[in-house]
Amino acid sequence: MNKPIKIPCGVTVRFGNEMFFAMLEKYGPSGWNAWIDAINKQNLVYPSYDIRFNGPAFQIEFILTDIDLSNRELDNIDLTQVYIAKGYFRESSLYKSKILIAKNCDFIGADLRASFFNSADISGSIFIDAMIDNVNWERAFFYNGMKPIGLPENVMARLQQLEPDDAEMSETKQIPCLAEIQDASYWVHQGD
């Protein structure tokens, strides 16, 4: 029996903070959501395709690090396709937002009411004085030694505490690509 061959993706483009800011400033959260939805439907956002099979010829990733989104109106924004590390959302409104990876983020005083943290990694994040009424914490988790701060006991009791394994503590292992463009934010036209 022949074993299927895994073909690497062709090109991976990683966008960072500048591209996100440019999209947000020009189109707002609803425009960002429409764009993410469109590229997700084309199976271009990792991991919108099944990683057991061949990846797309072109793949887009969003990695936001040390991004300051404090004091912003980000209601209903969909960040489920975005990896956020050390994001600052202090005093921002994220009402009904969707977040999947928010490691070491600052949500102090943020409005998170009715937001979705389904299966979210909130390791090391700070939620002091955040409004968290009706947040969906289903399958949300944190890694041992990286407990989130400021969540009430009834929420903490619902979170999963996981032991980090080698895969989680090392760089993400993905299908190798023939070409990678790191932080392609310069591609975003800042004109009219």
**What residues does 62 pair with on adjacent strands?**
15, 82
Domain membership flag for residue 4: no
Q: Which domain holds residue 43?
A: 9-187
Residue type, 142: F
Say if CB 144 and CB 124 are below 8 A apart: no
Q: List the CATH number of the domain containing 65.
A: 2.160.20
What does the CA dihedral 81, 170, 15, 148 come to, rounded to 10 degrees?
Answer: 50
Say if CB 82 and CB 102 are below 8 A apart: no
pLDDT at residue 5 is higher than 50: no
pLDDT at residue 149 is higher than 80: yes
Domain membership flag for residue 192: no
Domain membership flag for residue 133: yes
Instruction: Quote the CA–CA distance of 81 and 20 in Å, as a whole number.
Output: 12
Give tens-digit pLDDT for 76-133. Answer: 999 998 889 999 999 999 999 999 999 999 999 999 999 999 999 999 999 999 999 9
Q: Which of 99, 45, 81 is nearest to 89 (CA)?
A: 99
Domain membership flag for residue 3: no
pLDDT at residue 7 is higher than 90: no
CA distance to 27, 158, 160, 191, per residue, from 186 (Å): 17, 41, 39, 12
> DSSP secondary structure string, 4-29?
PP-PPEEEEEEE-HHHHHHHHHHHHH
Domain membership flag for residue 2: no
Mean pLDDT of the chain: 81
pLDDT at residue 186 is higher than 50: no
Residue 190: pLDDT band (50, 70, 90) is very low
Contacts of 90 (CB under 8 A, 6+ apart): 70, 71, 106, 107, 108, 109, 110
pLDDT at residue 153 is higher than 60: yes
Say if residue 8 is preceded by a cis peptide, omega within 30 of 0.
no
Domain membership flag for residue 146: yes
- How many domains is the chain built from? 1
pLDDT at residue 151 is higher than 50: yes
